[in-house]
Amino acid sequence: MGKKIVIAGAGVSGLTLAERLTASGDGVSVTVLEKENCPGGLARTFERDGFLFDIGPHRFHTSDSVVSEYLLDILGDDHITISRLSNVYMAGKYRSWPLTMKSVSGLPFPVLFRSFLDLFHRKAKGELSTFADYVISKYGKNIYNYFFKDYTEKFTGRSARELHVDWAEAGVNRAVIDKNVKADDLFSLLKSILIPTPVSTNFYYPSYGGIQTFCDKQAERIQKNGGRIMYGCRALGVETSGGKVSGVKTAEMGVIPADHVYWSPPVSILFPDAGFRFMDTLLWNIALSKQQENHYQWCYFSQKDTLFSRLTVPRNFRADTVPSMADSLIVEITLNNQKERYDPESLKDRLIDELERVEALRASDIVFMDWRIIPETYPLYDLDYRKRLSSLVLPEGLDLTGRCGSFWYNNMDHSIGEALAISSGRTFSKDFWK
């Protein structure tokens, strides 16, 4: 009773934890600190002139019944169920992802033939320690060289042999999403292509606003239950006394007293010399006056000569994310070297040319383009990242949570699952770290 809990970060992880703690009736005092002026973190939504833009393709999918129950409890009737429409751009064409017989039929014959031969030459030798080791052992050298290598090196800015094997295990799972879709090695991938099992992957999405609607609803509950959310308040670190947490240092409000702190901003803020690195994302939001011919919700682009790694079409999540008869695109460009900063405006003409080249838009239909840099969107798993994590010494009363706080490449449902476990006193295992 009366315990002061401070949660740094009002992303999905911090909000879920705060909502559950304030709803528990345990008499704890809960304060959430958020540097932005709204909740959501990496699940925010931007609005301009009737166009809604999420930070990339956010939507809810989970095989965890506890998480699903919580999602529906928060959203109530304010949600829709949508099916999956994801693509990958290969050999100059849009192809459904996960791959099907129809989507691979137009690939060059040498690619298909070499992939068949890889069925007999893909056994791993020794320990799998890098991204390259994992993908080659699972899918063979041909698919690795044809897609995974270029996409990953463009996305991360690092050699695939300088990335930890966990980046592969996490990344492939995050791209496949549905555990009922078996594509975790070359054999199961080819089997799913040749003998497909009907799988319908459905998502929850808010029935109004963007993905931030979910976070807004969480924030409303927190405040209704007596919790406090301090927007425009940036957490700089923690104060300790006698080896225990005593407060959170902020840029705007000094030190906020705390008996226990849950930290979800980047762990590099707490340990600036530990070598943790994150990637930033340059997000271009493009409004279009007419509907384009983009028949996907999101699409991956592996080509090194293409600036962007992923495109999202909000209209294919929910039609009223754009004005009537209009369209839009969300373009993601990973800024994978923090010492360099692109001048987004200098990329504008090239970006439009490349989007026209892949037939994602017609330049004459552009109403407006705006951009923003979203910092620390992905942790970067170099070969030593686990050692860094295991060597951290945390003061009593400090827990690291969420994607950035615990340096964990996860999806929203994983963050929610972790927060639900913490709030109920259960242990939580980060799948590929078991």
pLDDT digits (tens, 9 = 90+) for 71-92: 999 999 999 999 888 998 988 8
Q: Does residue 55 belong to any structural domain of this protein?
A: no
Q: Does residue 184 belong to any structural domain of this protein?
A: yes
Q: Are 107 and 86 in contact (CB under 8 A)?
A: no
Please say if the pLDDT value at position 339 is more than 60.
no
Q: Are 61 and 201 in contact (CB under 8 A)?
A: yes
Shared domain for 71 and 220, answered yes or no, is yes
pLDDT at position 63, please? Answer: 82
Shared domain for 254 and 192, answered yes or no, is no
**Which of these ranges, 33-37, 170-174, 203-207, 266-270, has the smallest mean pLDDT?**
170-174
What does pLDDT average to over the chain? 87
pLDDT at position 276, please? Answer: 95
Shared domain for 172 and 185, answered yes or no, is yes
Shared domain for 268 and 416, answered yes or no, is yes
- How sure is the predictor about 178, in pLDDT bands with cuts at 50, 70 and 90? very low
pLDDT at position 126, please? Answer: 65
Residues present in the chain in total: 434
Please say if the pLDDT value at position 424 is more than 50.
yes
182 versus 221: the higher-pLDDT residue is 221
pLDDT at position 242, please? Answer: 94
Q: Does residue 90 belong to any structural domain of this protein?
A: no
pLDDT tens-digit profile of 260-284?
999 999 999 999 999 999 999 999 9
pLDDT at position 182, please? Answer: 45
Into how many domains does the chain fold? Answer: 3
pLDDT at position 252, please? Answer: 93
For residue 98, whether the previous peptide bond is cis, meaning omega lies within 30 degrees of 0, is yes
Q: Percent of the chain, pLDDT > 90?
A: 66
> How confident is the model over 314-334, as a mean pLDDT?
97
Residue 235, strand partner residues: 250
Please say if the pLDDT value at position 286 is more than 90.
yes
Q: Does residue 50 belong to any structural domain of this protein?
A: no
CATH number at residue 30: 3.50.50.60
Q: Are 32 and 230 in contact (CB under 8 A)?
A: yes
CB atoms within 10 A of CB 1: 6
Shared domain for 374 and 362, answered yes or no, is yes
Give the structural domain span for 234.
4-43+63-82+210-273+383-433
Q: What are the tokens at 283?
A: 């997000």
Q: Are 321 and 254 in contact (CB under 8 A)?
A: no
pLDDT at position 170, please? Answer: 80
Shared domain for 102 and 195, answered yes or no, is yes
> How confident is the model over 348-377, as a mean pLDDT?
96
Q: Does residue 87 belong to any structural domain of this protein?
A: no
Q: Are 375 and 239 in contact (CB under 8 A)?
A: no
What φ, ψ does residue 276 adopt, rounded to 5°? Answer: -75, 135
Per the listing, tokens 């909740």 go with 39
Shared domain for 361 and 400, answered yes or no, is no
Q: Does residue 392 belong to any structural domain of this protein?
A: yes
Q: Which of 337, 363, 379 is the last residue of a domain?
A: 379
**Which of these ranges, 63-72, 172-181, 309-318, has the smallest mean pLDDT?**
172-181
Q: Which of 339, 354, 379 is the last residue of a domain?
A: 379
Listing DSSP states for 267-318 in one string gives: HHHH-TTS---EEEEEEEEEEESS--S---SEEEE--TTSS-SEEE-GGGT-
Q: Does residue 401 belong to any structural domain of this protein?
A: yes
pLDDT at position 135, please? Answer: 84
Shared domain for 419 and 360, answered yes or no, is no
Q: Which of 146, 176, 199 is the last residue of a domain?
A: 199
pLDDT at position 148, please? Answer: 84
pLDDT tens-digit profile of 187-221?
555 555 444 555 557 899 999 999 999 999 999 99
113 versus 405: the higher-pLDDT residue is 405
pLDDT at position 124, please? Answer: 54
Radius of gyration of the CA atoms of the chain, in A: 22
Per the listing, tokens 């609005």 go with 47
pLDDT tens-digit profile of 96-153?
876 555 556 666 666 665 666 655 565 555 678 899 988 888 777 887 887 788 889 9
CA distance from start to end of the chain: 34
Shared domain for 33 and 155, answered yes or no, is no
Q: Does residue 115 belong to any structural domain of this protein?
A: yes
Alpha-carbon torsion 98, 101, 106, 109, what sign?
positive
Enter the DSSP assignment of 146: I
Q: Are 115 and 145 in contact (CB under 8 A)?
A: no
CA distance 388 to 275: 8
Shared domain for 74 and 192, answered yes or no, is no
pLDDT tens-digit profile of 413-423?
999 999 999 99
Please say if the pLDDT value at position 180 is more than 50.
no
CATH number at residue 311: 3.90.660.10
Q: Percent of the chain, pLDDT > 70?
A: 84
Shared domain for 115 and 251, answered yes or no, is no
Shared domain for 155 and 298, answered yes or no, is no
pLDDT at position 293, please? Answer: 94
